[in-house]
Amino acid sequence: MSQLGKGRVIFHVDMNSFYASVEAAFDPSLRNKPLAIAGNPKERKGIIVTCSYEARAYGVKTTMSVWEAKKICPQLIVKPPNFDRYKKASKAMFDLLRTYSKIVEPVSIDEGYIDVTDVIEHPLTLAKNIQKKLLDELLLPCSIGIAPNKFLAKMASNMKKPLGITVLRKRDMKEKLWPLSVGKMHGVGEKTEEKLHSIGIFTIGDLARGNDIQLENILGINGKRLKKRANGIDNRPVDPNSIFDFKSVGNSTTLPYDLNNEEEIKGVLNKLSESVSIRLKRKEVLMTKIALTIRYKNRQTITRSLKLDNPTDEKKKIYEKAIYLFQKHWNGEFIRLLGITGQDVIERKEAFKQLDIFSFEKDAQQEPLHEALLKIKEKYGDNSIKRGLNQLEGKEMNETSFNKDFLQDHD
């Protein structure tokens, strides 16, 4: 294989069947066996969150109920999720990647980009070494995409699983990428796919040749961005600091007259919650923290915030938390201004919900696995790597929100 040229060389490292692989790394008896992770494995209605490739060979799929999976694969081993264990494994994985290049950008608990442009070793040899080291040291398999930019690297890593290494150059796109369904393109969700179908775009090649005006009409500025990606254009750098790029979405209103009637105030908070929810959805982001601002008649202003158990853009949840903060901190005086802000927002597709056993099945049914469960902004650090994941079992993991943990490890 020839070098990728004088341009950038970007790897996308995507761990294979991460949760199941981590469980097998901790318990050797699970290796090479059909294994599934489910919200409540003791109940027949429990939902499969992820499964090993051995299980997939029998037809077991994510979001399938446990009883359905057991029906087609009676020998299936089903275990509950262990999020602390997955966090520790993720941390170890990224620590290892940083030994090859300092330009590492984590994008979820089980995937990230590495800029290896300045690494002397041949890209294909380097990818093989990284893949082997992850497997030897942590007992975790991965697939690696090699490309001149992040988009193509991401698409490449999906082309061969498990333990795949795929090179995707711009000149390969017409043959390897353009014939694929547009729904298989990174960044194209179900709703976007439907909109593209409505204007006759069914493949990535169709999108690459799409009409700019039509695309902008149905997708806004995202239409042009997706067309550029479909043509292999992506100038985004691999940014290790992107984990700190937290934003906020909020709305406030100066009241037409000063209020101290709680029911009227609740009505204002309800409207503000709706406005913030609409803006979050429009931007396709979720808030992980809520802040309430109260300005009193005497212009004294207070802002109180609360970390959310799970990221959200739902009006009802925003309103409930806003009311909680209001009732806890309002001093009873007349109010001049109210504001609600969603803070530490994250992209919807990158969101990871730390599900408990009571919401697991419901959430798994509502969203595809990789959208609902395998995307997280999570902890990474600089601890040394030891052979096998059992070395990490004894280390403490803070029970704080994932955004806080994520930042603390990069201080």
Residues serving a catalytic function are 111
Alpha helices in 35-166 (DSSP H): 53-56, 66-72, 83-97, 123-138, 150-157
Give yes or no for a contact between 81 and 39, defined as CB atoms under 8 angstroms apart. yes
Give yes or no for a contact between 104 and 114, defined as CB atoms under 8 angstroms apart. yes
Q: Element (H or E) spanning 259, and its range? A: strand 247-259
Return the sign of the alpha-carbon dihedral for residues 174, 185, 237, 133: negative
What the block records as the tokens of 306 is: 């609360």
Q: Which of 137, 140, 136, 130 is nearest to 165 (CA)?
A: 130
Instruction: Please report how the helices 212-219 and 190-198 are oriented relative to each other, as an axis angle in degrees rounded to 10.
Output: 140
CA distance 157 to 159: 6
CA distance 176 to 282: 33
CA distance 176 to 167: 11
Q: Which of 208, 96, 195 is nearest to 152 (CA)?
A: 208
3-class secondary structure, 115: strand
